[in-house]
Amino acid sequence: MVQIDESKVAAIGDVLNNRDRPLKERFRALFTLRNIGGERALESIGRCFDDESALLKHELAYCLGQMQDVRAIPVLTKVLADVQQEAMVRHEAAEALGAIGDSSVEDTLVSYSKDPVVEVAETCEIALERVRWLKQKEALKDDNPYASVDPTPPATSKSVEELQRILMDEADTLFNRYRAMFALRNLRTEEATLALASGLKGKSALFRHEVAFVLGQLQEECSVPFLVENLRDPAENEMVRHECAEALGAIATDECTRVLNEYLKDEKRVVKESCEVALDMCEYENSPEFQYADTLVKVNDGQ
């Protein structure tokens, strides 16, 4: 955890919670708080769950999970339990509880694994398996080149062909299919990327959304046509379309920028906002900026 003056952390929290600031600025503030960590950062993030933007609230939950601080469990549990929250927000709260991995959340995850919202129920099942897996294995060997806290550990070494077979096996558990997904990601080859992209045709919206997220981490140009196809599909789940947009923002080619600009006025708010944030990421990826989460620098400069 980085030690930062509390008044500066509070100032960054004020940017995050200020609805008059552009969404892209609030996102940068959020990721700055995630990097700083600590009680004041957690409080600032937790305070923002009454926002009107489902996209922002989804990212709040994601960041709390990545921080892996047990002090975030009460607010995440409250968000998961709140049926007035959007499905993608509740799903991300459940995934964050799994990311924190504390055994105290088992009963909560068991309860909501029967939730009527399928994305929430499926997420709770995966998160519950992760918590139980961690308890059995005691420690998770970190062979993830992306430094993210993933919903499942990667599968043990198998060929791309075998991993793709598991990935696309609708009869297998989502936990095992996710393990194949992260093993393919960790290979970081074009063959593995194309195998992953085939997962954008899976039956589960939760599964397709995670495939899109992983393709964004890989930043391989060969996945762009597949991501664009799902973003363009008006019948696609908005959670999946949002993740495709953000993945295109991470890949940041000229084609990505062009397609994202097309959907800046999409009728689905979460898609429209995702394109706005993704275009900011494109700008960052194609600039000499040192870091995306730059709000501390701006606070120090009095911006």
Would you say 191 is a known binding-site residue? no
Q: How far apart are CA 46 and CA 156, in angstroms?
A: 36
Would you say 170 is a known binding-site residue? no
Would you say 209 is a known binding-site residue? yes
Measured over all CA atoms, what is the biggest interatomic distance in the chain, rounded to whole angstroms? 55
The Cα-based distances of 129 to 109, 112, 113, 138, 195 in angstroms read: 10, 13, 11, 14, 25
Q: How far apart are CA 140 and CA 134, in angstroms?
A: 7
pLDDT of residue 294: 64
pLDDT tens-place values along the chain, 303 residues long: 446 788 999 999 999 999 999 999 999 999 999 999 999 999 999 999 999 999 999 999 999 999 999 999 999 999 999 999 999 999 999 999 999 999 999 999 999 999 999 999 999 999 999 999 998 875 556 568 888 999 999 998 789 999 999 999 999 999 999 999 999 999 999 999 999 999 999 999 999 999 999 999 999 999 999 999 999 999 999 999 999 999 999 999 999 999 999 999 999 999 999 999 999 998 888 777 656 656 666 656 665
Would you say 92 is a known binding-site residue? yes
Identical fold between 1-138 and 149-286: yes
CA 197 to chain centre: 17
Of 3.30.40.230, 1.25.10.10, 3.40.140.10, 3.40.50.1820, the CATH number of 1-138 is: 1.25.10.10
Would you say 210 is a known binding-site residue? yes
pTM of the full structure = 0.92
Count the Cβ atoms, other than its own, within 10 Å of residue 1: 10
Q: In the chain, what are the domain boundaries? A: 1-138, 149-286
Between the two ends of the chain, the Cα-to-Cα distance in Å is 24
With respect to CATH, is domain 149-286 assigned 3.40.50.80?
Answer: no
